[in-house]
């Protein structure tokens, strides 16, 4: 499985983690970054692990179904979700995630780690305009910082992540709208 290269917003990972799923949410494959992020030793162990095992909080089936419906209803506009999950060792990690429809009932989930460990368990959904606004706000804050400071380095990594996420969402939304009008 190919890697998606990038520096994590917190500077703790060198690439996005990638997981392949089927239309029922079953795990098909994962790259090394995903296995490390999830705290899983192998793809076989990953496939054998229930998705509920990675939940930061006990899974509410109604809430899970509402999230699934909201995602599929909004994906033409381009969305990212920000959530926390629990590694197999119990550590909580916050990620931004995008799910790409690969066709034929297969989905690629990209996970961009943003905080490890985390205490923020609040899920969020971002649309293109929100990602752009956050990106621009971060750029304005960066101008006021000492370029050599740790805060500036973290903010610079956040800006790069937001830039890449905005381009991903914009390109995806543009392709979907072009396909719908063609």
Which distant-in-sequence residues (6+ apart) come within 8 Å of 131 by Cβ?
80, 162, 165, 166, 169
118, 164 Cβ separation under 8 angstroms:
no
Residue ranges making up the domain that contains 36: 4-181
Q: What domain count does the chain have?
A: 1
- Tell me phi and psi for residue 23, to 5 degrees: -65, -15
pLDDT in tens, the chain (182 residues): 533 333 333 344 446 899 999 988 899 999 999 999 999 999 999 999 998 899 998 878 887 787 777 666 665 555 678 899 999 999 999 998 888 778 898 988 889 888 899 999 988 877 777 878 888 998 999 999 999 998 888 888 778 877 877 777 767 655 655 665 66
Beta strand pairing status for 15-22 and 4-5? Answer: antiparallel
- pLDDT at residue 9, rounded to an integer: 37
- pLDDT at residue 181, rounded to an integer: 61
Q: Tokens for 131?
A: 């990602």
- pLDDT at residue 154, rounded to an integer: 81
| Report field, pTM of the whole predicted structure over 0.85 | no
- pLDDT at residue 24, rounded to an integer: 83
Q: What is the CATH number of the domain that holds 93?
A: 3.30.450.20
- pLDDT at residue 15, rounded to an integer: 62
25, 49 Cβ separation under 8 angstroms:
no
- pLDDT at residue 87, rounded to an integer: 97
- pLDDT at residue 59, rounded to an integer: 79
């Amino acid at each position: 499985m190919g890697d998606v290269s990038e520096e994590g917003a917190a500077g703790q990972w060198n690439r996005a983690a990638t997981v392949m799923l089927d239309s029922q949410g079953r795990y098909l494959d994962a790259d090394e970054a995903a296995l490390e992020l999830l705290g899983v030793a192998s793809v076989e162990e990953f496939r054998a692990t229930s998705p509920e095992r990675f939940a930061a909080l006990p899974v509410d089936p109604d809430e899970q179904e509402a999230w699934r419906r909201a995602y599929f209803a909004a994906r033409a506009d381009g969305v990212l979700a920000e959530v926390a999950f629990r590694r197999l060792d119990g550590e909580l990690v916050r990620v931004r995630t995008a799910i790409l429809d690969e066709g034929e009932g297969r989905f690629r989930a990209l996970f961009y780690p943003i905080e490890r460990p985390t205490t923020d368990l609040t899920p969020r959904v971002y649309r293109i305009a929100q990602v752009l606004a956050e990106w621009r706000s971060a750029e304005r804050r960066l101008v006021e910082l000492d370029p050599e400071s740790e805060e500036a380095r973290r903010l610079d990594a956040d800006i790069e992540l937001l830039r890449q996420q905005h381009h991903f969402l914009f390109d995806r939304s543009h392709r979907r709208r072009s396909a719908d009008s063609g």
